Amino acid sequence: NKIGVIFDLDGVIVDTAKYHFLAWKELANHLGFEFTEAHNELLKGVSRVRSLEILLGIGKVELSDEKKQEFLVSKNEHYLQYIHKMGPEEILPGASNLLDTLDDLGIQYVLGSASKNAPLILKQVNLFDRFVGIVDGNSVSKAKPDPEVFLIGAEKLKLKPEQCVVFEDAIAGIDAANAAHMISIGVGDKETLSKADFNVEDLTEITSGFIKSLITKIET
Ligand code: G6P
Ligand code: MG
């Protein structure tokens, strides 16, 4: 195989950002401050621990390490209540078709996510078995924008970083893909993800012809 694909999960395959938002918002309100959709943008692609730090910064709240630990657990328990209700109907537009296209072309793909809940979410939407490898928040030591998550992904694909294509919806993720010397494709707002090599609104825009053009690009 000449190329491989690495998918971010939240915001690319499934829209779990809305559930993270509801769970973080509840915590912020409990601590006595507002948490908006704009605030939530800052948490995309960011690890759970770092997300709490950013949230506490927004509310100018200082907590002991014990309290932080307690809120990380309760936030995740709240988030998981939504995740356990998820099904395949919550796969984002174009994602299933793109996996089919890659299967048809004989191109393998892995997951490269910051989420520790990634395996559970993939199982909820019946996509777990389709990935040849899963790199998630449990298997990395350095969070995006560090390229570690994607470099491990390339190893799982048995490819060089230059042969990998990354689909990402977060600025930190695009930065990580670029730092890994991979082809980065921003999924979502073009202005926000302006550092990506290519931009699409959603995965319905990714055609078989486009994937073939990437193979040609990587080969030459
Ligand atoms: C993804 C999401 C982030 C989330 C992170 C950790 O990168 O975009 O919003 O904070 O995963 O997720 P987790 O499920 O481990 O709390
Ligand atoms: Mg994401």
Distance CA 143, CA 47 (A): 7
Cα(176) to ligand 2 centroid in Å equals 12
Does the CB atom of residue 145 touch ligand 1 within 6 A? no
Distance CA 143, CA 54 (A): 14
pLDDT above 70 (res 1): no
3-state secondary structure of 214: helix
Helix (H) or strand (E) holding 217: helix 208-219
Q: Ligand 2 centre from 114 Cα, in Å?
A: 8
Packing angle of the helix pair 148-157, 171-179 (nearest 10 deg)? 60
- Say whether the ipTM exceeds 0.95: yes
Mean pLDDT value across residues 114-128: 97
Residues noted as catalytic: 8, 10
pLDDT at 201 > cutoff 70 = yes
* Mean pLDDT score across all residues of the chain: 96
When pLDDT is averaged across residues 182-190 and rounded to a whole number, the result is 97
- Residue 172 CA, ligand 2 centroid: distance in Å: 9
Query: Looking at the CA of 118, which ligand is closest?
Result: 1
CA distances from 187 to 18, 118, 181 (A): 16, 19, 18
Q: What is the C-alpha to C-alpha distance for residues 214 and 109, in angstroms, rounded to an integer? A: 15
Q: Is 169 in the pocket of ligand 1 (CB under 6 A)?
A: no
- Whether 36 has a pLDDT exceeding 90, the answer reads yes
CA-wise closest residue to 6 among 194, 178, 125, 182: 182
Q: Is the CB–ligand 1 distance for residue 115 below 6 Å? A: yes
> Residue 220 has what DSSP assignment?
-
C-alpha gyration radius of the chain: 17
Q: Is 219 annotated as ligand-binding?
A: no
